[in-house]
Amino acid sequence: MRSKKGELTSEEIIQIILAGAGIVILIILLWTLISSTFDPGEETAKSYQGALEDVMKGVERSGKGSFVLWGGEPKMVYFEGNTRIISGKDVFYEGSRDKNRICFCYESEQEKKDWKCGNCVFLDKPAKFLKQGKDPVNTIDNIYFFKEGDYWKYDNYNGLIMVGYPKKIYNGWSRIPSNLDAAVKYTEISSFFFKGKEYWRYDYDPANNVNKVNVFGNISDGWPGIPGNLDAAVMGLDNQFFFFKGDRYWRYDYGPSINKLISPVDGQKISDEWNGLPSSLKPKAAARYLNYVYLFDGSEYWKFDLDSNKAVHDSPRATSSWAGEFKSLDAAIQGIEVSYRLEEYNLNIFEKGCNFDIFSTEDKYIVNVNCNYLANGK
């Protein structure tokens, strides 16, 4: 009962206080739930490969799976690799400590409006049912590392060794021997391998999706002037090949209309021509990524800028810094993989305003998406 007209009784005041306290508690509980959802924790993190398997299982069960991008810029998503990804019951999103960048995907219209997530792509059928075209449209740079009888694939995009490696050389590169001396990439589909006095040319046949040796012979016949028992090889700019043995190197111009040794027959001192590299350097493996050459010598490697023609200032670095996998190497090779636009696919874009393409390479599928990013209603 009110004591005066318009005034609240003590019982009503208590009820209002309790109601307010309940709302505060509810807000705290909701915030705790949201925070725990945003911060999944390392123990629940999965690799892309594991997430892909989960997605494919979900597709087979419900006819729909999701692959997530974020940040508003086109981004290649590798379905093979060590980048952390979290799988929920019906949603897959990439793990990140940055709470503003995590992207949730829901199927209900109301949840979609609430979360305003515009960077989710749903694949209506498993990738194995998609048909690959024959015309190359894109390339992806990886680096393959070889040591004795094993090889690793290094994902330059994520800076990690891919899931499932190392693998045996004879499984991935049939007829290529173990304990290689050197390896070098030539074109998007061709590579050369060297051991002793012999070499192999390895080609990828996209029409039949197979790798095969097309040329096998003596180095002196296929590469006149280049010595046997090489230590390393790498392709430079403009069809230039560099071969290393001890502290010397040979430059060779090789292409459809040229096959000629440029350096003296006995080679040149590496440190005389490769500015900033020490006279003691004797590369045992070499690889190129973009316009940088990486020269590996035991537990250290040097990074060389082809554009400026000098070693990068903080070289050498520890070979083990490449994901901690290697103390030394036999050979390394730039793995330019060609991707092909899929001719048959059925994609539904969760939000409007997305331009997308889906591609395939020899061993993975890629979704490239550019969406108008909206997060938390902004």
- pTM for the model stands at 0.57
Asked if residue 309 has pLDDT above 60, the reply is yes
The predicted pLDDT at position 374 comes to 30
Quickly count: other Cβ atoms within 10 Å of residue 120's Cβ: 26
The predicted pLDDT at position 5 comes to 53
Residue type, 267: G
- 270-308 pLDDT, tens digit per residue, is 999 999 999 999 999 998 887 889 999 988 999 999 989
Burial label, 78 (beta-carbon count in 10 A; 0-12, 13-18, 19+): buried
Pinpoint the alpha helices (H) of 168-273: 169-172, 219-222, 270-273
Torsion of CA 319, 325, 326, 327, to 10 degrees: 80
Residue length, the chain? 378
More confident residue, 88 or 201: 201
Q: What confidence category does residue 81 fall into, taking pLDDT thresholds of 50, 70 and 90?
A: very low
Percent of the chain at pLDDT > 70 equals 47
End-to-end CA distance of the chain: 48
More confident residue, 321 or 101: 321
Asked if residue 339 has pLDDT above 70, the reply is no
The predicted pLDDT at position 123 comes to 36
Asked if residue 77 has pLDDT above 50, the reply is no
The predicted pLDDT at position 320 comes to 82
Q: Is the dihedral of CA 181, 321, 140, 63 positive or negative?
A: positive
Asked if residue 198 has pLDDT above 90, the reply is yes
**Share in percent of the chain as helix, strand, coil (round to 5):** 20, 40, 40
Whose CA is closest to 107, among 362, 348, 364, 355? Answer: 348
More confident residue, 106 or 224: 224
More confident residue, 186 or 247: 247
Q: Is the dihedral of CA 79, 351, 75, 95 positive or negative?
A: negative
Vertex 228, ends 225 and 232: CA angle to 5°? Answer: 100
Asked if residue 181 has pLDDT above 90, the reply is yes
The predicted pLDDT at position 229 comes to 95
Mean pLDDT throughout 34-50?
Answer: 34
Phi and psi angles of residue 128, each rounded to the nearest 5 degrees, phi first? -65, -15
- 14-41 pLDDT, tens digit per residue, is 666 666 666 656 656 555 544 333 332 2
